[in-house]
């Protein structure tokens, strides 16, 4: 074997970086100004567009919109939301978020990072995510609260374009939610589903249901706002069985409600259609219209 050549002086080696540049984040910030919440900072990064319709109450209303009404494969939406002490924010969407078919295995991603100050309120009430045929979608949400903050967050998805008979024809769904209070993790919710590897219509999975609705309420047990919303969630429990002939399939939707921790409520519902869940949405929005919370129903004209 021949000897390796000897290099008498070090030769600088420069490698082209293959790392992707850090992704840009959209951002919004809400503060209380003269007794009313105001949007004091707003930055849009495509494909996300932030809209601010007029608010009829003390809360700021910000609507998440996108070009084309959805996300194509490879899209990455990243949003930072900050609600300063005492301020109130309602986040909604312009319409259902359509996840279009994936090309070459690319994934549409959406990441939200939120921060709430003392006594701040954030309500996240989007329309459902619609997972179209051959789509791949991943979402991650992380919220940091102070002990007196209040967060109500809705997470909602459809199995496909139900009006076209499309059901669980997507490739992959992954969702993760983390909520921390004063740095402590109090809620962790992870969900992943791949229809090619699982039987969607199995009773162990989704059975005959097509739309899935979750609500997470995090706040202080001493907060009157938390108690009010907790009572509304508790009232949504399904009626108990009154005999051997009770059938869950006879109900417009199936719902479970649990107080997971002293400061956390969780509601989950499954239905055959979007309209089946309207009474549940109406009950939540009526509660949020209380003067202690949003002061009005920002989605009244929409629904």
- For residue range 81-99, list pLDDT tens digits in order: 999 999 999 999 999 999 9
For residue 142, give the nearest of 179, 109, 110, 173 by alpha carbon.
179
Q: Which 8-state DSSP code applies to residue 230?
A: H
Confirm whether 119 is domain-assigned: yes
Q: Which two tokens stand for residue 177?
A: 């939610």
Confirm whether 6 is domain-assigned: no
Confirm whether 301 is domain-assigned: no
pTM given for the model? 0.88
Whether the Cβ atoms of residue 208 and residue 201 lie closer than 8 Å to each other: yes
Structural domain for 137, as ranges: 36-238+260-288
Confirm whether 101 is domain-assigned: yes
CA distance 112 to 48: 12
The pLDDT, as a whole number, for residue 249 is 59
pLDDT digits (tens, 9 = 90+) for 110-133: 999 999 999 999 999 999 999 999
Q: Is the pLDDT of residue 48 over 50?
A: yes
Q: Quickly state the pLDDT bin for 201 (edges 50, 70, 90).
A: confident
Provide the pairing of β-strand 48-51 with 88-93: unpaired
The pLDDT, as a whole number, for residue 7 is 37
CA distance 117 to 145: 7
Confirm whether 195 is domain-assigned: yes
CA distance 211 to 162: 9
Q: Which two tokens stand for residue 179?
A: 């909520």
Please state the domain count of the chain. 1
Confirm whether 15 is domain-assigned: no
If you average pLDDT over residues 269-297, what whole number do you get? 93
Provide the pairing of β-strand 264-271 with 211-218: antiparallel
pLDDT digits (tens, 9 = 90+) for 138-161: 999 999 999 999 999 999 999 889
The pLDDT, as a whole number, for residue 250 is 60
Whether the Cβ atoms of residue 251 and residue 299 lie closer than 8 Å to each other: no
Q: Which 8-state DSSP code applies to residue 225?
A: H
Confirm whether 189 is domain-assigned: yes
Confirm whether 12 is domain-assigned: no
């Amino acid at each position: 074997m021949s000897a390796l050549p000897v290099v008498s002086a070090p030769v600088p080696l420069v490698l082209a970086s293959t790392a992707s540049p850090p992704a840009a984040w959209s951002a919004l910030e809400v503060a209380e100004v003269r007794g009313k919440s105001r949007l004091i900072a707003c930055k849009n990064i495509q494909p996300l567009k932030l809209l601010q319709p007029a608010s009829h109450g003390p809360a700021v209303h910000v609507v998440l919109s996108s070009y084309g009404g959805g996300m194509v494969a490879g899209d990455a939406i990243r949003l930072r939301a900050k609600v300063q002490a005492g301020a109130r924010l309602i986040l909604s969407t312009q319409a259902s978020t359509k996840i279009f078919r994936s090309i070459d295995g690319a994934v549409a991603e959406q990441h939200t990072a939120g921060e709430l100050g003392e006594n701040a309120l954030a309500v996240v009430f989007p329309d459902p995510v619609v997972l179209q045929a051959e789509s791949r979608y991943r979402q991650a949400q992380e919220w940091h609260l102070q002990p007196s903050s209040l967060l109500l967050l809705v997470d909602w998805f459809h199995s496909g374009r139900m009006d076209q008979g499309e059901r669980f024809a997507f490739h992959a769904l992954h969702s993760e939610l983390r909520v921390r209070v004063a740095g402590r993790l109090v809620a962790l919710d992870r969900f992943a589903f791949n229809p090619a590897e699982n039987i969607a219509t199995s009773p162990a999975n989704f059975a005959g249901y097509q739309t899935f609705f979750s609500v997470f309420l995090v706040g202080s047990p001493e907060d009157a706002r938390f108690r009010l919303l907790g009572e509304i969630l508790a009232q949504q429990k399904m009626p108990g069985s009154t005999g051997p002939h009770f059938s869950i399939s006879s109900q417009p939707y199936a719902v479970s409600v649990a107080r997971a921790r002293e400061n956390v409520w969780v509601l989950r519902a499954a239905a055959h259609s979007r309209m089946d869940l309207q009474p549940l949405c109406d009950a939540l929005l009526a509660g949020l219209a209380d003067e202690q919370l949003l002061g009005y129903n920002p989605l009244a004209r929409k629904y």
